[in-house]
Amino acid sequence: MPLVSQSEIVDLREMPPMEVIFGRSAKMALAHEKLERVAGTEVPVLIQGESGTGKEIMAKLLHVSSRRSNASWVKVTCQAIPLPLIESELFGYERGAFTGAHATKRGRVELAHEGTLFLDEVGSLDIAVQAKLLQLLQDGSFMRVGAQDARQVDTRLVTAARGDLREQVDAGSFRLDLYYRINAVTIDLPPLRHRIADLPMLVDYFFAMYAKELQQTPKPLSREMMRIMERYHWPGNIRQLENMVRNYVLIGSEDALVSEMVPSAQARLTTEIDLATPISLKAITRAATQDLEREIILRVLQANGWNRSKAAKWLKISYRSLLYKLQEFRIGGADGETKPEDTMLQSEPAGGMEEPAHS
């Protein structure tokens, strides 16, 4: 992966359709509204959200909906660039500025002239570089490394941050004046776990996209898998979901998905305890047993094609107690339980959940 992507023309056809990008959650509707309001302006925009929530997609949308859309889109992933290099990457250098600077080189800022400069992970910029960026925002001027004179550039700055920049300001690693400049407008992207209603649509979108791209025709994901996905906390957000669906399409089995989403009971089955505070033996063993039960039940269910009566037999428990446990683990246990999202789920696999209860 190159450290800095070349300036490129953003092709809207390569982006997910707008309905997929924004879904139907209120938070995404707010992001959409803000984006439309500021796209045509020149104000700097700060996009905040956890990793994989779509910050880069938003930045690209801002670019394509601006009057700069025919000029270059330049992305710099600040975090990926080693500290001594970032200044010259961004602002360029003059010949002889340092050992090895045999020729003058234009920086990313210059390449983004008349276009959009997207600084991803802006929070990891060195404090000295932050000062130069502030100058650029104030009057459009900057200096190549080793230059005597300032240059002018006309670029729209869009930044992205994963963590809370305000905290970094308080900690002294981010300049307050720069902070005020870059977040004239802030677009906050919710984590996927806060927009779970959009999950089925996203799954369908990635499923179809990768089925086509990888020329595979896998079975739809089971209803139970969708339930597990709806209750998962998605630390990697949409990126993680996309990777998981892609793997499923490629491999055609739900095994890997289960192991990724169901935490290994091993992790909690430990005798490592904090001896500084009293503990509840009952609480610890109960939690450990539950983890173990949950993991084993999920694996057995999955190995039996989510057929509950087969799984119950295999586990040597009654069908009813299996249902009870599923309910306890919130894996779509109760027969009467329905959620609004249910209408969007795939139909049940044969032999799935329709068995009569017997004990």
Q: Cα–Cα distance between 82 and 121 in angstroms, integer? A: 13
**Pick 56 or 342: Cβ nearer Mg ion:** 56
**Pick 117 or 312: Cβ nearer Mg ion:** 117
319: left (phi over 0), alpha (psi -120 to 50) or beta: alpha
Structure tokens at 51: 């990793």
Q: How far is the CB of 59 from Mg ion (least distance, A)?
A: 9
Q: Does 243 bind Mg ion (CB under 5 A)?
A: no
Encoded amino acid at 50, one letter:
E
Binding residues for ligand ADP, per CB under 6 A? 16, 20-21, 49, 51-57, 238-239, 242
CB nearest Mg ion: which residue? 56
Which among ligand ADP, Mg ion, none contacts residue 53 (Cβ within 5 to 8 A by kind)?
Answer: ligand ADP
Which among ligand ADP, Mg ion, none contacts residue 200 (Cβ within 5 to 8 A by kind)?
Answer: none
**Pick 121 or 291: Cβ nearer ligand ADP:** 121
Q: How far is the CB of 198 from ligand ADP (least distance, A)?
A: 8
> What do you get for the CA distance between the two ends of the chain, in Å?
57
**Pick 56 or 355: Cβ nearer Mg ion:** 56
Q: How far is the CB of 35 from Mg ion (least distance, A)?
A: 17
Q: Does 239 bind Mg ion (CB under 5 A)?
A: no
Contact pattern for Mg ion over residues 22 through 61, marking x by CB under 5 A? ----------------------------------x-----
**Pick 209 or 315: Cβ nearer ligand ADP:** 209
